[in-house]
Amino acid sequence: MIPAQQSGGDFVDHVRREWTATFPDVDTSAIEVLARIGRIASKANHLLDLTLVPLGVSRAEFDVLSAIRRAGRPLRASEVTSVTLLSGASTTKISERLVKDGMIERLRFERDARVVLLALTDSGRDLVDRVFPVRLARDRELLEGLDTDELATLAGLLRKVASNVE
């Protein structure tokens, strides 16, 4: 058992108590939500990494592959950058590796030969189609204990918070 659980509450409760003791005049209430979001995201990402590492694919590479798969069509590099929140340079570097590994291919846009589209190969599509259901199953495990109404409420509240950063 972690020390926070021994003294009541979870790890984030423990961290908030420590910050409140350190800064008694500062409102530490945001820690209640954002630290939990961060810890949950870290755990979900770690579980995804456990699936991807044996396949030789990074999480950023999987995000690029997934963006193209979700779109259901080849995407411009700028579109991939927009939906993955990667930098343009990162998108270029990642797409070069994925081309080399046979996961995506570059296509010329028929209406403008200067535009390059990124398209999944069968190999890239197969990887996403194998990994994505595993990811969803692990994500569902993180949400165990919440009923349908609680999940809907949580999703709505998080959507509201997300609107502050998008």
Which residue intervals of the chain are DSSP H helices?
3-6, 11-22, 30-52, 59-71, 77-84, 88-100, 122-142, 148-162
Cβ 78 vs Cβ 150: under 8 Å: no
Split at pLDDT 50, 70, 90, the class of 5 is: very low
pLDDT of residue 116: 85
Q: How confident is the model over 108-121, as pLDDT tens digits?
A: 877 776 778 999 99
Q: How confident is the model over 33-56, as pLDDT tens digits?
A: 999 999 999 999 999 999 999 999
pLDDT of residue 6: 52
Is residue 1 scored above 70 in pLDDT? no
Tell me the two tokens of residue 81.
């950058």
Q: How confident is the model over 54-95, as pLDDT tens digits?
A: 999 999 999 999 999 999 999 999 999 999 989 999 999 999
Q: How confident is the model over 103-156, as pLDDT tens digits?
A: 999 998 777 767 789 999 999 999 999 999 999 999 999 999 999 999 999 999
Helix (H) or strand (E) holding 147: none
Burial of 132 (0-12, 13-18, 19+ CB in 10 A): middle
| pTM of the entire predicted model | 0.85
Computed on alpha carbons and rounded to an integer, the radius of gyration of the chain in Å comes to 20
Residues 6+ apart with CB under 8 A from 98: 61, 64, 65, 104, 124
Helix (H) or strand (E) holding 56: none
pLDDT of residue 166: 80
